[in-house]
Each structure stands twice: as C-alpha cells, then as structure tokens.
Structure 1
Amino acid sequence: MSEHPLAPRVMSPEEAAARAALRHLVDAYGHGIDRRDWDLLRTLYHDDAVDDHTPYYCGSASGYIDWLPGMMANWRATMHTAFTQLLVLDGDRAEGEVTARAWHLTLDGTRQFVAWGRYADHYERRQGIWRFARRSFILDHAEDLPANIGDDFGSEGVGTGRVGADDPVYSRLGLFGG
C-alpha cells in the first residue's frame, strides 16, 4: 500500500529547506502585492509562468504584474495573508495548496472587501531557485462589509501602513531595501 502524499513522514534536511524556501516565496508574494512592489513580484515567477485570477486575469505572470497597478489603484490598502500551506515535492517540482485571506479597503475608506480562498500553486526549482510556475486562486467565500470608522483608541503617532516605498516597514527594516 502506498502512503498518501500528504501524510506525515520524516523529512530530509533538503526537503525541509525546500519547504522553507516555498513558504518564503508565498510570504514574499503577499508583501509584494500589499506594498505594490512590482519588481519584487517579478522575481517570484519564472519567465514562462502563468497566473490565474479568473475572471479578472488569466495569462502570463508578466502580464498579470503589468495588470496589477491598475487593479490595485482601486484600493487604499490591502493585506494578503497566507495561513496554511500543504506541499507535495517531487524533485525540482512541487505543488501546494495555500489557504489565504485577501483584505481590501476602498479608496474612500468606507467599505472592506475580503476574499477567503486558496491558491493552487505549481512551483519549480530552476538553477537552484524555487519560483512560481503557475499560480491560481480559488475563491471559497467573499465578504463586502462597511468599514467602521471611529475612535483610533489612542493610536496617534503610530506608524501607519502605506503602499510603496513610503511604508514604515522600509524605514524600520533597512535590510528590506524598499
């Protein structure tokens, strides 16, 4: 009887390193989207990669990144969060299901759109580096909610998130190189 590909097993150091690299890739994607760091996003995909965010976009990853600025201009702020990541590795190829939440705040700050879903990812390691070969989003649930605007609970002076290189993370984490 063959073992289920998702069943727990003893990992080699090489497999553990590959899994850590793939988690970094997924986390860097969320950072790149939320900070509007298009240059970073381009490094996460192979040149021949595909991104599928149907019905909004499906095609080359390069075309997806070219499309993003216009789409993201509709949102004052976003936060893409990856939760769990299940991976199956096969040499220099891997597949993964990543559960995710994508929060969006409208430009006028009055509405929140929250997409709950999963990414079905195909990864490839080429020249020793793991990148997306194909990324597709599966929507499980969506919420359209009012944004509660009110008391800031004494947060005056706290650094607030911004898109791009003006985000406080870049001044507070110099190695991030914003």
Structure 2
Amino acid sequence: MTTSTDERLHYFIDKQEILELVNRYCQAADRHDHDALRALYHADALDDHGAFFKGLATDFIDKLPDIQAPMEILHHNVTTVNIEIDGDYAEGEVYILAFHKAAGPDGSIDVLIGGRYFDKYEKRDGEWKFSHRVVVADWVNIQDPSIVNLEHPFVAGSHIGCPGADDPSYAFFKLIKRQTP
C-alpha cells in the first residue's frame, strides 16, 4: 500500500503535536503549573501512578499542590519516545529521567527515577490531549541526605530555576507561554 505525501505530512504533524504535548507536560510539572497541566488532558482522562494514585487526571492534578509542596526541585527529562498513530488515536511509550529534591523531616533527599510513561492520546476537536497515562518506574536512585548544592562557588551568580512564576523562564520568554499562578 502506498502512502501519499499528504498522508505522511499529516502523520508527522500529528506526531510533532503529540511530542509537544509530552514536553509541555514536563514543563508544567516542573514549574508546578497546575492550570497548564489541566489543559493537557481531556476532561475524562485517566492517570495511573500505581498505588500512589489511580483515577481521573483532574483529581490527580487537584492533589498536586499538596504532593508538590515539599518538592524543592522537579526536573523531568524526556529521552526515547515511541509513538504510533491510528487516525485520531495514538499511543506512546515515553522514557523519562525525573529528578526530585524533596524536603523531609530530617533534611532534603534526592530521588532520581528512570521510568516510562505509557500514554494514550486522542485528538478531539482538532487537538491532541492525554486520554490515559500510566507511570512506570524502571529504577530509582535515592540520595539521603541530598547531594544538590546550589550554593557552591562553582554556580555562584548562575540563574537558578525554581517552581512557579519566580522561575527565570517566565520573565525571559515571549513566545513560550507560561501560566501564572
């Protein structure tokens, strides 16, 4: 079966829109931008973080302010991405490295997770959004206490990222839009 150039272009445009959706998720999660996260999911979308949370994505996002409160740093990195598209439905296996620096009762800890997102996407009203996401941890590295040191002389004077609207990206970008809390 021969695929026309128009069909191939449509496929690659859809694939790029899905890749951008995945990247916007990481951006919104790291900035604790819950409104931006909410916009990435269909209203009936499901989120499955294992025993941690399983249910409607909107309910998970409602819980994120409490979940993220101790998070001093969140840094999600997408690596390998495998996407298959069938019309207005697609699936993705997205490999991630997610770093967390979290405050605890005895000081901060670092958690580096190598994992994958098992995603289902649907294009409704011309827009790709998540319809179901499952989070899978393949490995975890925990440093207790934290080994992150943003006050070391090596980084003196550097711009330091942070959750929320105080992150330097909010003031820098004109085209890359951020939600404001």
Are residues 1:55 and 2:29 paired?
no
Q: How many Å separate the matches in 2 of 1:17 and 1:80?
A: 24
Alpha-carbon contact 2:82-2:94 (below 8 Å) kept: yes
Task: Read off the aligned partner of 2:167 and give its amino acid letter.
Answer: D
Which stretch of structure 1 is more off in the superposition, 65-74 or 150-159?
A: 150-159
SS in 1 for 2:161: coil
Distance 1:49 1:58 in 2: 11
Partners of 1:40 and 1:110 in 2: how far apart?
Answer: 27
Residue correspondences, number: 170
1:19 pairs, out of 15, 19, 37, with 15
* Post-superposition offset of 1:95: 0.5
Residues in 1 aligned to 2:138 and 2:96: alpha-carbon distance in whole angstroms:
10
Name the aligned partner's letter for residue 114 of structure 2.
W
CA RMSD of superposed structures (Å)? 1.9
Matched residue of 2:159: which SS?
A: coil
Structure 1: unaligned runs, 5 residues or longer: 1-9
Ranges of 4+ aligned residues in structure 1 off by more than 3 Å: none
- Report SS of the residue matched to 1:147: coil
**Residue deviations 1:117-147, cap 9 Å, x none?**
1000000000110000000011111111143
Question: Residues of 2 paired with 1:148 and 1:38: CA distance?
Answer: 28
Aligned AA (1:143): N
Amino acid across the alignment from 2:9:
P
- Does 2:168 align with 1:172? no
Question: Within 5 A, what are the aligned runs for 1:143-162?
Answer: 143-145=141-143, 146-148=145-147, 152-162=152-162
Distance 1:144 1:121 in 2: 26
**SS class of match (1:123):** strand
For 1:32, give the aligned amino acid: A
Distance 1:58 1:82 in 2: 22
Q: Provide the TM-score with structure 1 as the length reference.
A: 0.89
Contact 2:110 2:147 in 1 (8 A): no
Aligned residue in 2 for 1:92: 88
Structure 2: gaps of 5 or more residues: none
Match of residue 112 from structure 2? 114
Q: Which amino acid aligns with 2:146?
A: A
Q: Deviations over 1:5-51 (max 9, x none)?
A: xxxxx971111101110000000000111100001001100011001
1:139 to 124, 137, 140: 137
- 125-134 or 79-88, which deviates more: 79-88
d(CA) in 2 for partners of 1:114, 1:66: 24
Residue 174 of structure 1 deviates from its aligned partner by: 2.8
Secondary structure, aligned partner of 1:148: coil
DSSP-derived class of the 1:48 partner: strand
